[in-house]
């Protein structure tokens, strides 16, 4: 194994997803402790009172108490190099979350033990399932009254259509929470309340259910219930098969309390033991060089058996010498003192070296990657070398687009980023003509970041700007950022459209507006690539249009 391959094999790149308030931020902080980022985690805890975390870098996030932009945390632990990509935890920011999920190899899903599967968890999980991403589950807040363990496992299996294998079982919950029983070692870990969850040596372990110390700590009722539970999961539960985990068919379930740093190390160790190293990705470009690609019909580059998310086409082996990666996120003005733009690149294969030249597949132009950063919350350090699985921040002007492929070999194009059709639309006006330049510059950059989509609605000699987003909170974010980063005020005007479709004519020519039979309430607009689109208030309006315009078809924009 070459030095590069060794580095790649120890990479573990994942995201933590949860319904808001289940404990994602708290768990992230505790994981940092294990990574030796003590000083950072400490300051995170201290600042937590104001709801600021190391992964929140924008004012708005602090104000709203939600994490709206994603960041990358990394640390070394147990010989692994861990890359943790933070995801926004709010419903409205799902598109950004989805993009982050394309850049990870596995996911930790946090569930509030008292609430079970919540709406946002279900949606996020659906994305993982579609991508066959391995999912590890952490049932948090066991120090509070929790749902029955078997019912919870049942819920995970039923709602998410996946096998749930408890790696440990909780010894009670809430006031009766006594610890967990690790099924791998058969040892019990007794719970001690550690408010603030400061980092300390692992708690003393005891024997299994037959150990008198374990029996003594539990009430007779709890003990009897636990014995029954244990028997049920041993006999009726799914069996543990690492390949099923890698293929996203089984989720290993861990119980604990993030706030008390209890069960977190078992989660981390279990996760690292069974999660995949960087996996091969599909090359949608087709022209793959034989010695960097892996043909899925004959090869399995990650050695993981069923590598899941790919069924046809060429795969790029992460261990190849060829550097390649794709942009999954663009963020402007991360540092308010410098007007800058950073493209976050997930490296898919090979090794990155600062100063290297790579080709931007979309333009075919070579780019020197001289200004590369490792972004840790607000902190930035220069990255000289990085490997498949890592995420680097590349400073750039406006050359990058979300989804762009960078590579030092010809013929590689990744098509990893899904696009989600906007469902909310609002006009955006510039109330101060003197600020037009700043307003336009800001809007253009935020659109390039993928924050919102922008449409022009022709109105006589003028054009009115329309924003489209998956959720309406994005509009607030646009306004806030225009104001704070570009010093440009704006005014929003809500509209009732909920669907946007691109018009496709038989000959590919733009349709003359007069030739179209557009129902009342629908509107013709132009997207940022110059395509004609139609905005509809409802599916009914769209069906009406299709029925009355036979030579025209509609496609997702
Ligand atoms: P999120 O990122 O998923 O939105 O959740 P976050 O970690 O911010 O946690 C949400 C709330 O749940 C926080 O309380 C946090 O302290 C609490 N919490 C997290 N893990 C546990 C746990 O294991 N047990 C218990 N009992 N609570 C937990 P908060 O009141 O909103 O904030 P704070 O004042 O406690 O910081």
**Region at 516 (left for phi over 0; alpha for psi -120 to 50; beta for the rest):** beta
Q: How far apart are CA 487 and CA 212, in angstroms?
A: 68
Q: Is 178 in the pocket of ligand 1 (CB under 6 A)?
A: no
User: In ligand 1, which atom is closest to the CA atom of 144?
Assistant: 26
List the structure tokens of 221: 């009722």
**Region at 303 (left for phi over 0; alpha for psi -120 to 50; beta for the rest):** left
Q: Whose CA is nearest to atom 6 of ligand 1?
A: 23
| Burial status of residue 439 (CB atoms within 10 A of its CB: 0-12, 13-18, 19 or more) | buried
Gap from CA of 342 to ligand 1 centroid (Å): 31
pLDDT at 304: 36
- Residue 124 phi/psi, 5-degree rounding, is -65, -40
The Cα-based distances of 357 to 353, 360, 412 in angstroms read: 9, 10, 15
Of 77, 80, 96, which Cα lies nearest the Cα of 15?
96
| E-state strands within 221-308 | 250-255, 281-283, 293-295
Q: Is 67 in the pocket of ligand 1 (CB under 6 A)?
A: no
Gap from CA of 244 to ligand 1 centroid (Å): 31
Of 442, 368, 448, which Cα lies nearest the Cα of 404?
448
pLDDT at 246: 96
| E-state strands within 264-321 | 281-283, 293-295, 314-316
Of 409, 345, 337, which Cα lies nearest the Cα of 372?
345
Of 182, 145, 147, which Cα lies nearest the Cα of 265?
182
Q: How far apart are CA 269 and CA 289, in angstroms?
A: 37
pLDDT at 339: 65
Q: Is 468 in the pocket of ligand 1 (CB under 6 A)?
A: no
Q: Is 20 in the pocket of ligand 1 (CB under 6 A)?
A: yes
In sequence order, which residues have a C-beta less than 8 Å from that of residue 550 and are 6 or more positions away? none
Q: Is 89 in the pocket of ligand 1 (CB under 6 A)?
A: yes
- Is residue 422 within 8 A of residue 472, CB to CB? The reply is no
List the structure tokens of 478: 């646009």
Angle formed at CA 180 by CA 214 and CA 105, multiple of 5 degrees: 155
Q: How far apart are CA 271 and CA 31, in angstroms?
A: 12
- Is residue 167 within 8 A of residue 274, CB to CB? The reply is no
pLDDT at 432: 92
Gap from CA of 107 to ligand 1 centroid (Å): 20
| Burial status of residue 354 (CB atoms within 10 A of its CB: 0-12, 13-18, 19 or more) | middle
Q: Is 106 in the pocket of ligand 1 (CB under 6 A)?
A: no
| Burial status of residue 489 (CB atoms within 10 A of its CB: 0-12, 13-18, 19 or more) | middle
Q: Whose CA is nearest to atom 21 of ligand 1?
A: 259
Q: Is 18 in the pocket of ligand 1 (CB under 6 A)?
A: yes
- Residue with tokens 């308010």, as numbered in its chain: 336
Q: How far apart are CA 23 and CA 11, in angstroms?
A: 25
| Burial status of residue 220 (CB atoms within 10 A of its CB: 0-12, 13-18, 19 or more) | exposed
According to DSSP, residue 471 is labeled S
- Residue with tokens 């989600």, as numbered in its chain: 420
Of 71, 98, 60, which Cα lies nearest the Cα of 473?
60
Gap from CA of 136 to ligand 1 centroid (Å): 20
Of 519, 278, 502, which Cα lies nearest the Cα of 388?
278
User: In ligand 1, which atom is closest to the CA atom of 26?
Assistant: 7
According to DSSP, residue 262 is labeled B
Q: Is 118 in the pocket of ligand 1 (CB under 6 A)?
A: no
Q: Is 143 in the pocket of ligand 1 (CB under 6 A)?
A: yes
Q: How far apart are CA 172 and CA 478, in angstroms?
A: 46
pLDDT at 370: 80
Q: How far apart are CA 419 and CA 402, in angstroms?
A: 10
Q: Is 145 in the pocket of ligand 1 (CB under 6 A)?
A: no
State if pTM tops 0.85: no
The Cα-based distances of 65 to 90, 253, 331, 470, 531 in angstroms read: 10, 28, 20, 20, 38
pLDDT at 309: 33
Per-residue tens of pLDDT for the chain, all 557 residues: 899 999 999 999 999 988 888 988 888 888 888 877 554 544 444 444 433 444 443 444 444 443 434 467 788 899 999 999 877 655 555 677 888 899 999 999 999 999 999 877 887 888 888 889 999 999 999 999 999 999 999 999 998 889 999 999 999 999 889 899 999 888 888 887 665 555 554 566 677 888 888 888 888 888 998 899 988 888 877 789 999 999 999 999 999 999 888 999 999 999 999 999 999 999 988 654 434 454 433 333 333 333 333 333 589 999 999 999 999 988 776 665 666 678 889 999 999 998 899 999 999 999 988 876 665 555 567 788 999 999 988 887 678 888 999 999 888 999 888 777 899 999 999 999 899 999 999 999 888 888 899 999 988 888 899 999 988 888 988 998 899 888 999 999 999 999 999 998 877 778 888 889 999 999 999 998 899 999 999 999 999 999 999 889 999 87
Ligand 1: which of 15, 17, 21 to mutate, judged by most atoms within 8 Å of the beta carbon?
Answer: 21
pLDDT at 287: 53
Ligand 1: which of 18, 20, 26, 121 to mutate, judged by most atoms within 8 Å of the beta carbon?
Answer: 26
In sequence order, which residues have a C-beta less than 8 Å from that of residue 78 and are 6 or more positions away? 269, 272
Q: Is 21 in the pocket of ligand 1 (CB under 6 A)?
A: yes
Gap from CA of 21 to ligand 1 centroid (Å): 6
Gap from CA of 48 to ligand 1 centroid (Å): 10
Gap from CA of 19 to ligand 1 centroid (Å): 12
In sequence order, which residues have a C-beta less than 8 Å from that of residue 228 and are 6 or more positions away? none
According to DSSP, residue 462 is labeled E
User: In ligand 1, which atom is closest to the CA atom of 19?
Assistant: 3
User: In ligand 1, which atom is closest to the CA atom of 20?
Assistant: 4
Q: How far apart are CA 128 and CA 138, in angstroms?
A: 16
Q: Find the helix or strand (DSSP H, E) in which 156 lies.
A: helix 149-160
Q: Are strands 250-255 and 135-140 parallel, antiparallel or unpaired?
A: parallel
Gap from CA of 490 to ligand 1 centroid (Å): 35
List the structure tokens of 427: 């006009």
Ligand 1: which of 61, 173, 259, 260 to mutate, judged by most atoms within 8 Å of the beta carbon?
Answer: 259
């Amino acid at each position: 194994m070459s030095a590069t391959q060794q580095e790649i094999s120890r990479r573990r790149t994942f995201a933590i997803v949860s319904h808001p308030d289940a404990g994602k931020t708290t768990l992230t902080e505790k994981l940092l402790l294990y990574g030796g980022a003590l000083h950072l985690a400490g300051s995170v805890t201290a600042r937590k009172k104001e709801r600021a975390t190391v992964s929140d870098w924008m004012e708005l996030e602090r104000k709203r108490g939600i994490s709206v932009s994603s960041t990358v945390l990394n640390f070394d632990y147990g010989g692994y190099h861990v890359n943790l990509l933070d995801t926004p935890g709010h419903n409205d920011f799902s598109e950004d979350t989805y993009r982050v999920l394309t850049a990870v190899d596995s996911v930790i899903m946090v569930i509030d033990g008292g609430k079970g599967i919540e709406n946002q968890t279900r949606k996020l999980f659906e994305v993982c399932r579609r991508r066959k991403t391995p999912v590890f589950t952490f049932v948090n807040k066991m120090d509070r009254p929790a749902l029955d363990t078997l019912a919870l496992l049942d819920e995970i299996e039923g709602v998410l259509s996946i096998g749930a294998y408890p790696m440990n079982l909780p010894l009670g919950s809430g006031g009766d929470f006594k610890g967990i029983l690790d099924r791998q070692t058969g040892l019990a870990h007794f719970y001690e309340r550690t408010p603030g969850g400061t980092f300390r040596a692992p708690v003393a372990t005891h024997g299994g259910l037959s150990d008198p110390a374990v029996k003594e700590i539990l009430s007779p009722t709890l003990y009897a219930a636990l014995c029954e539970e244990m028997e049920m999961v041993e006999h009726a539960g799914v069996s543990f098969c690492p390949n099923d985990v890698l293929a996203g068919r089984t989720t290993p379930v861990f119980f604990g309390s993030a706030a008390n740093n209890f069960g977190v190390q078992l989660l981390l160790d279990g996760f690292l033991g069974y999660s995949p190293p960087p996996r091969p990705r599909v090359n949608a470009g087709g022209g793959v060089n034989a010695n960097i690609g892996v043909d899925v019909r004959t090869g399995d580059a990650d050695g993981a058996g069923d590598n899941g998310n790919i069924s046809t086409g060429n795969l790029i082996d992460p261990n190849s010498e060829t550097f390649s990666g794709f942009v999954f996120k663009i963020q402007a003005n991360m540092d308010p003192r410098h007007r800058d733009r950073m493209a976050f690149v997930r490296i898919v294969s090979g090794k990155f070296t600062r100063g290297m030249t790579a080709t931007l597949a979309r333009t075919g132009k070579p780019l020197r990657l001289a200004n590369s950063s490792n972004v840790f919350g607000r902190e930035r350090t220069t990255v000289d070398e990085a490997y498949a699985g890592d995420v680097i921040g590349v400073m750039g002007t406006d050359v990058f687009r979300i989804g762009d492929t960078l590579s030092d070999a010809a013929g590689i194009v990744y098509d990893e980023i899904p696009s989600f059709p906007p469902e909310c639309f609002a006009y955006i006006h510039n109330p101060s003509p003197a600020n037009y330049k700043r307003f336009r510059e800001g809007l253009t950059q935020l659109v390039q970041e993928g924050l919102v989509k922008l449409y022009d609605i022709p109105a006589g000699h003028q054009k009115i700007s329309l924003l489209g987003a998956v959720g309406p909170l994005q509009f607030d974010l646009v306004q806030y950022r225009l104001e704070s980063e570009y010093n440009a005020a704006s005014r929003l005007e809500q509209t009732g459209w909920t669907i946007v479709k691109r018009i496709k004519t038989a000959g590919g020519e733009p349709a003359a507006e007069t030739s179209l039979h557009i129902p009342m309430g629908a509107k013709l607009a132009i997207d940022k690539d110059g395509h004609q689109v139609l905005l509809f208030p409802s599916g009914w309006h769209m069906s009406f249009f299709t029925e009355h315009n036979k030579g025209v078809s509609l496609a997702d924009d």
